[in-house]
C-alpha cells in the first residue's frame, strides 16, 4: 500500500469498562449504597448524544468535583478537562444507544494550586470509568459499565483558559452539522453477519489478509479492562473502547508516534468503527455509515 504517515490522536468525537456487554445504559441496584439513576432503572432512553456537547461542571463524583468538562466536535477542541492543576486534552465518542467512551491523554500543569507542579496530572479516574451516558433534564449523567453513576454534569460552566490554551477553547462549544453527522445513529449491520459481543472481541487481532508492510507486525489487542493497544507496523497506538448490543462498539485513539513506513492502520480501523460483526472467524469493523473500516482475524 502507499506510504502513510499519520497520527492517530485526532480529537475524534470520542474508559474503563468492566463487564459492559449488553448492559450499558441500563442501571441496576448498586452494591454498597452507590448511586444509580432512577430514570435509567425504568428503561427510559438515554438521549441524543449531541446533547453531550457543552461545557459542564462535574458533580456527584469520586474525585474531580468542580472540574469543568468541555465536550465539543473534533474541530472545536474535542475533549478538554479543566482541573485544579491544569487542562487535559483528549477524545470522546458517544452513540444513540447510550454508549460513551472518553480518554484524557495529554495535559499541561499550571502550577498555581497547592500540590500542583511538574508531572502532576488532573484527576480523571472517574472519566476513565465512564462507559455510558443519559440525559436527565438539564444535566447529563455518566455511568460505568455496571450502570452505576460515575458523575453528574451540570450545564453553564465557564472554565478559565490559562496561558497555554486559546481563549476560544474556553468558550461554550456550538453544535454544528459536522458534529451531528459524527454523532448520528450507526447503520445496522448486514443481515449475513453476526453482531460481535464484547467477550468475542477480547484478545489480539491482526489484519485478515496477513499484511505486514512495516518492520513490526500490525495488531490491535482489546483488553478486558477497557483499554486497547496495538501497532500499525511502525507506530505504537493505544486508547479505550466500549461495546454494547447489536455489535455496537466505540473506541478512542490516543497519541501515536509518527514513524513513516508502509503501514496498516489497524488502530484507525478500530477508532473509526461504530459496529463490529463476525464473518465466520473474521472480525469486520464498520463506520457509522455502514462502510467497512477493516477486517481482522485472531492472532494465532
pLDDT at residue 224 greater than cutoff 90 = yes
Going 34 to 38 to 42 to 44, the CA torsion angle's sign is negative
Could you tell me if 140 and 52 are in contact, meaning their C-beta atoms sit under 8 angstroms apart? yes
Question: Is the residue at 10 inside a domain?
Answer: no
What is the band of 272 on the pLDDT scale with cuts at 50, 70, 90?
A: very high
Q: What mean pLDDT is predicted for residues 60-66?
A: 87
Compute the half-sphere exposure of residue 97: CA atoms within 13 Å on the CB side of its CA: 23
Q: What mean pLDDT is predicted for residues 186-198?
A: 97
Q: Which residue has the higher pLDDT, 281 or 9?
A: 281
Same domain as 172, residue 27 = yes
**Cell representation of residue 134:** 443519559
Question: Is the residue at 186 inside a domain?
Answer: no
- Note the pLDDT tens digit of each residue in 68-97: 999 999 989 999 999 877 888 999 999 999
Could you tell me if 243 and 283 are in contact, meaning their C-beta atoms sit under 8 angstroms apart? no
Same domain as 210, residue 168 = no
pLDDT at residue 67 greater than cutoff 90 = yes
What pLDDT was estimated at residue 118? 52
Domain range spanning residue 33? 21-176
Compute the half-sphere exposure of residue 178: CA atoms within 13 Å on the CB side of its CA: 10
Q: What mean pLDDT is reported for the chain?
A: 81
Percentage of the chain modeled with pLDDT above 70: 75
pLDDT at residue 40 greater than cutoff 60 = no
Query: 147, 176, 205: which is the final residue of a domain?
Result: 176
Could you tell me if 53 and 173 are in contact, meaning their C-beta atoms sit under 8 angstroms apart? yes
What is the band of 213 on the pLDDT scale with cuts at 50, 70, 90?
A: low
* Residue in 19, 42, 16, 18 with CA at minimum distance from that of residue 29: 42
Same domain as 226, residue 146 = no
Contacts for 114 with CB less than 8 Å, ≥ 6 apart: none
Question: Is the residue at 292 inside a domain?
Answer: yes
Same domain as 165, residue 266 = no
What is the band of 17 on the pLDDT scale with cuts at 50, 70, 90?
A: very low
Pairing of strands 132-136, 227-231: unpaired
Domain count, the chain: 2
Could you tell me if 3 and 262 are in contact, meaning their C-beta atoms sit under 8 angstroms apart? yes
What pLDDT was estimated at residue 160? 86
Q: Which residue has the higher pLDDT, 36 or 134?
A: 134
Q: What is the CATH number of the domain that holds 213?
A: 2.40.128.270
Q: Is 127 helix (H, G, I), strand (E, B) or coil?
A: helix
What pLDDT was estimated at residue 251? 97
Same domain as 256, residue 167 = no
Question: Model-level pTM?
Answer: 0.82
- Note the pLDDT tens digit of each residue in 231-253: 998 889 999 999 999 999 999 99
What pLDDT was estimated at residue 125? 85
Percentage of the chain modeled with pLDDT above 90: 59
* Residue in 257, 266, 267 with CA at minimum distance from that of residue 235: 257
Amino acid at each position: 500500500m502507499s506510504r502513510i504517515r499519520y497520527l492517530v490522536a485526532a480529537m475524534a468525537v470520542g474508559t474503563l469498562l468492566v463487564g459492559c456487554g449488553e448492559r450499558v445504559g441500563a442501571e441496576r441496584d448498586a452494591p454498597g449504597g452507590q448511586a444509580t439513576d432512577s430514570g435509567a432503572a425504568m428503561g427510559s432512553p438515554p438521549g441524543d448524544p449531541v446533547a453531550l456537547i457543552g461545557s459542564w461542571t462535574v458533580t456527584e463524583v469520586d474525585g474531580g468535583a468542580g472540574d469543568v468538562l468541555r465536550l465539543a466536535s473534533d474541530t472545536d477542541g474535542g475533549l478538554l478537562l479543566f482541573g485544579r492543576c491544569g487542562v487535559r486534552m483528549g477524545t470522546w465518542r458517544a452513540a444513540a444507544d447510550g454508549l460513551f467512551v472518553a480518554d484524557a491523554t495529554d495535559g499541561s500543569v499550571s502550577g498555581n494550586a497547592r500540590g500542583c507542579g511538574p508531572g502532576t496530572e488532573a484527576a480523571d479516574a472517574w472519566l476513565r470509568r465512564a462507559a455510558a451516558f443519559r440525559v436527565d433534564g438539564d444535566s447529563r449523567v455518566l455511568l460505568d459499565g455496571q450502570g452505576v453513576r460515575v458523575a453528574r454534569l451540570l450545564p453553564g460552566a465557564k472554565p478559565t483558559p490559562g496561558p497555554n490554551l486559546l481563549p476560544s477553547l474556553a468558550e461554550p462549544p456550538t453544535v454544528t452539522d459536522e458534529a451531528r453527522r459524527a454523532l448520528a445513529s450507526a447503520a445496522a449491520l448486514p443481515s449475513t453477519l453476526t453482531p460481535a459481543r464484547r467477550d468475542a472481541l477480547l484478545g489480539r487481532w491482526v489484519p485478515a489478509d496477513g499484511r505486514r508492510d512495516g518492520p513490526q507486525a500490525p495488531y490491535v489487542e482489546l483488553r478486558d479492562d477497557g483499554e486497547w493497544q496495538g501497532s500499525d507496523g511502525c507506530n505504537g497506538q493505544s486508547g479505550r473502547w466500549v461495546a454494547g448490543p447489536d455489535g455496537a462498539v466505540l473506541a478512542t485513539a490516543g497519541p501515536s508516534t509518527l514513524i513513516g513506513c508502509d503501514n496498516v492502520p489497524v488502530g484507525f480501523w478500530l477508532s473509526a468503527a461504530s459496529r463490529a460483526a463476525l464473518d465466520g472467524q473474521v472480525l469486520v469493523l464498520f463506520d457509522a455509515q455502514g462502510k467497512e473500516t477493516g477486517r481482522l482475524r485472531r492472532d494465532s
